[in-house]
A and B are shown apart, each in its own frame.
Chain A
């Protein structure tokens, strides 16, 4: 799973490639299955060990870099403060994910049916995407106040653009011949959208959703950096200023775990929904 996730982020917009790698991996299962997870687990364990040996061996003070053992200790002893701050971040990330992707999908459908809208608003979407999210965050906090709203909007913004681009591509990735067939059948635009375009865009959509599933967590955390007193993002700031490095590391690991959980969920949903081979055109 870990290797696949790196692969998917790297080639995010290239659906066909992703689908193929995953499927081949599954086809080879019977033999490779048992040891499939062994290499990444061994590598991770080795790096943790190395980290521990360096910290202990060089006598690095724990407020600069804690050892893995100390970080694990935080989960055991200060679990409560971690979890209290975990739930708001989870909520913001999920809400931002839903909001950003919904808006992107609706806009993509509009763009595909209305050339004027596409020509007018696509450049604006590109422009908004070029503004660094860290720069937008304070602006949104000024406008939307200090509650959940700015964090959700930041998480949504960060999801929005990849989904818009991929969804527009996906909705247009219908073979001209299929469209001619629908014309011979006198199908309406709405029927073509529901029966053909939305379905054939699914692999493209999921490629984007997999990117969004990890970036929405980043969005929520960045939102919490600015004048917030709850959430994993604010905990990161607080732990840093107070030199509580073990807590900082534990928080970061929890945030990463959240992103991985989102990613795995999205991948599982995709496998349930997209059972056909997207790379072949029949």
Chain B
């Protein structure tokens, strides 16, 4: 299939999907030989959906997210974000990326870090302001700490600043790579709830990588389970708990069954 044909076919099906990935392969060519990180991966995320991603270490979760964000070149297949290529989507500021560590500028206060996306990349057109930076910091529970420098904030607070920064220009897709991986459980629970609330309030499409099975089951409407070497889709699991989800839900039998199922998928060799 030629690139044009793939793009045309993608544009047809992508109308309903926020993210559509088809037959995606990513290979890395290193001196030591080439590694196939992802092979024939395909799935769709509907607009406003929340998809979590689980898989053994090194199976290509980060690579998949980075391919969608146009940070890694793809070797085969196609990715469409609202019917556009990743590069077009990036230039249109369709998505925001949240990394495992907050990646804040140490010399900028919390509020100025949140403003950063509004100050750069202007040549791609006017940037729509989602909400005032002050309001976003309040949304992530940091009112009163606007002028703190990153080293004066805790790890969890820094991560919340980076989430506020990701939301400041109304991204249509939020790509999160183990954003809460380095946090303690209590902070993580709190941020999980906050993230769900933000998701409900803003209608942003979210893809969320995690190593925690309960987190994946709690947050996701669907969970994409990958298998390793090379990275393939193991199963795209429907989770479908009733909204709004609460932390208490995690003690129900229904929830335990879902996590047990996800664990089995992760452990069982194919």
Q: Residues of A with Cβ closer than 8 Å to B?
A: 175, 177-178, 180-188, 191-192, 195-196, 199-200, 202, 274-278, 280-282
Contacts and interface: CB of A to CB of B under 8 A. Distances in A.
The 5 closest A-B pairs by CB, nearest first: A186-B121, A187-B120, A276-B107, A276-B106, A282-B104
A150 B151 CA distance: 46
Contacts of B158: 282
7 contacts: A178-B105, A180-B97, A186-B90, A199-B105, A276-B151, A282-B151, A282-B158
Interface string B179-198: 00000000000000000000
Contacts of B121: 185-188, 191
B105 A177 contact: no
Contacts of B264: none
A19 to B, nearest CB: 12
Given A186-B90, A186-B124, A282-B150, A196 B105 contact: yes
Interface of B: 66, 69-71, 90-91, 93, 95-97, 99, 101-107, 116-117, 119-121, 123-124, 149-151, 158
B106 A184 contact: no
B164 to A, nearest CB: 14
A184 B102 contact: no
Contacts of B99: 177, 180-181
B232 to A, nearest CB: 25
A282 B120 contact: no
Given A184-B97, A191-B120, A276-B151, A282 B102 contact: yes
Contacts of B119: 191, 195
A280 B106 contact: yes
Given A180-B66, A181-B97, A185-B120, 16 more contacts: A177-B99, A180-B97, A180-B99, A181-B99, A185-B117, A186-B91, A186-B121, A188-B123, A191-B121, A195-B119, A200-B107, A275-B149, A276-B151, A277-B106, A280-B106, A282-B151
A108 B150 CA distance: 28
A274 B108 CA distance: 11
B107 A275 contact: yes
A200 B107 CA distance: 8
A177 B101 contact: yes
Contact of B116 (A180, A195, A202, A277): A195
A173 to B, nearest CB: 12
B103 A282 contact: yes
A180 B93 CA distance: 14
Contact of B96 (A184, A191, A280, A282): A184
A146 B161 CA distance: 59
